Amino acid sequence: MSGLMAGKRGLIMGLANDKSLAWGIAKQLSAHGAELAFTYQGEALAKRVKPLAEQLGSDFTFPCDVSDMDALDEAFATLKARWETIDFVVHAIGFSDKNELRGKYVDTSLDNFLMTMNISAYSLVAVANRASAMMPPLKGDGTGGGSILTLTYYGAEKVIPHYNVMGVAKAALETSVQYLANDLGPANIRVNAISAGPIKTLAASGIGDFRYILKWNELNSPLRRNVTIEDVGGAGLYLLSDLSSGVTGETHHVDAGYHVVGMKQEDAPDI
């Protein structure tokens, strides 16, 4: 264990199980000395999240549904009651009606558009607002501030069949990262996103034909493989630690290089 995160405390939002991207990041942070608190979406997930938190030496878990501003306020009040300040937050949250993560974007309903935007994009703004208020003020010696990290996907940049309204929400999320980075930069609070390649998780299982997306990325990315939650965890550690002290407003791709490729690889078989 290195002391990269020693003395730092932070909140992990979006852990569902040991396949979650949030788990890959939390494991790395803990291995490098961070102290972690975790939120879970509802009581049904508490029984999964609590034992995982315990594995990383944390008994600090509490509920938070990010679509409910009162619940968010309550969660941050719970956090503040035990920890006066925090140094980082991981926002690994996204949701849309799975019936609209297939078929055509043109058929998106207003209700699901608003819900997807609220949970998958606005929630980062609401979290950043509350989390930044708990980050240590910037001092004359350059200490203070913090780091906020969210998770996005290439479907924000280019059309990925079935990703639909979630791609539009991720585009709003990535632009929010830039605006938040600019607002919070003077307080030395950095805001970044990891654009992860496809990984089989609970959330991903809602996306139509996800197995095809996985196979396509494996065959056509420069590294000719899919990424793992450990790959995402390594990049998360970098973006949440002082190693990335000069980096903010960035969407960092952890996708085996897939985003630089313009067409099918010559060696990729038909699938």
Q: For 246-255, b where at least 16 C-beta lie within 10 A, e where not — what string?
A: eebbbbbbbb
Q: Does 14 bind ligand NAD (CB under 6 A)?
A: yes
Determine which residue in the list 196, 237, 239, 256 makes contact with ligand NAD, applying CB under 6 A: 196
Determine which residue in the list 4, 29, 36, 92 makes contact with ligand NAD, applying CB under 6 A: 92
Q: Give the nearer residue to ligand NAD in terms of CB position, either 120 or 241.
A: 120
Integer angstrom CA distances of residue 154 from 36, 195, 212? 28, 6, 15
How many residues make contact with ligand NAD (CB under 6 A)? 27
Gap between the terminal Cα atoms of the chain: 42
Is 47 annotated as belonging to a binding site? no
Determine which residue in the list 36, 86, 151, 165 makes contact with ligand NAD, applying CB under 6 A: 151
Determine which residue in the list 9, 20, 26, 240 makes contact with ligand NAD, applying CB under 6 A: 20
Q: Give the nearer residue to ligand NAD in terms of CB position, either 32 or 48.
A: 48
Pairing mode of beta strands 251-254, 35-40: unpaired
CA 112 to chain centre: 21
Contacts to ligand NAD from residues 60-89, by CB under 6 A = 64-67
Whether 130 and 70 have beta carbons less than 8 Å apart is answered as no
List active site positions.
Answer: 153, 163
Placement of tokens 């998780």 in the chain: 201
Q: Does 201 bind ligand NAD (CB under 6 A)?
A: yes
Question: Interior CA angle at 249 toward 163 and 258, to 5°?
Answer: 45
The stretch near ligand NAD (CB under 6 A) out of 182-190, 196-204, 217-225, 257-265 is 196-204
Q: Which segments are annotated as binding site for NAD(+)?
A: 14, 41, 65-66, 93, 170, 199-203
